Structure 1
Amino acid sequence: MRRAVVTCTATAAGVILLLSLKPHDGGGGSTPTVLSAAGPAQASSGASVPSSGSSGSSSASSSGSSSVRTVTGDAVPTRYGPVQVKVTLDGTKITKVDVVKYPTSDRRDREINASAIPVLNQEALAAQSADVDVVSGATYTSDGYTRSLQSALDQAGR
């Protein structure tokens, strides 16, 4: 009799725990936000973000004497959604890094990335490379960030 009570209680607790778990939706329905080294800024509704299968793009500055250019890295798929960066270079120096795509499907994703992405941007600017430390608590975003940044730097010939 005791064994039946313990088994029923354990089974009920297990079912409650399983039902309380929410699957992580990788689809994300919120408006993407662009995070740059300056902080978060809402992306314009007309902004075009390449899909995860596309290769990055590069555009040169309109002034003829300057070698300022912007290169968009590949969108790197992560467990929680794709991460894609756009880097601005003046010659070979990284002057700005914008994250144009990152996981935002739920509140926790937005919380984690709102604090992790500025740190990653600062580290990339300080290191002048994709060799940055992983941000604790944002391992997947950090990995996607460094891989996309390296993709952009490779496209820029750095």
Structure 2
Amino acid sequence: MTRSTKLVAAVNRLQAIELRKSGLTLEAISYELGVSTTMVHKYLTKALTDLSARHINETEEYRALQVSRLEGLLVPAYTAALGGDLNAVEKARKVIDSLSDLMGCKAPQKLAASTPDGDSFHNPVNELTPEERRARIRELQKKLGYTVVEAEH
């Protein structure tokens, strides 16, 4: 690919993105740029891939900066904690906890639906028979104004 061909492709990619953002279809963009819809699709795919890679890199840079900051806070707190300072123990624990969150080191926690007081969530629908569920669904459909078609079983 020549230098001018690469330049044309880069310009077309930018134009394709702008046209797509303005709501044009791939066919309309293809017509505007004078290329096939396949080429428009390739332009958009490449642009989105590049954008995604850039965001991943920026995220990794931000994460590295935050790790560095937290490690800077951890050193004095950890040193003081080893010396017996109980306040420093709590500070060091919080910094370590933040580092664990940032680095994804914590095990996933199981979440379950529950009431505000922590009891298991009771769902009365689970106690209905299949026929009672179907009857309830038909009732709600009628209430909402949907045409209910009775299926044979």
TM-score, reference length from structure 1: 0.26
- Report the structure, 1 or 2, having the larger strand content: 1
Ranked by relative contact order (alpha carbons within 8 Å, sequence separation 6 or more), the top structure is: 1
- Report the structure, 1 or 2, having the larger helix content: 2
Larger radius of gyration: 2
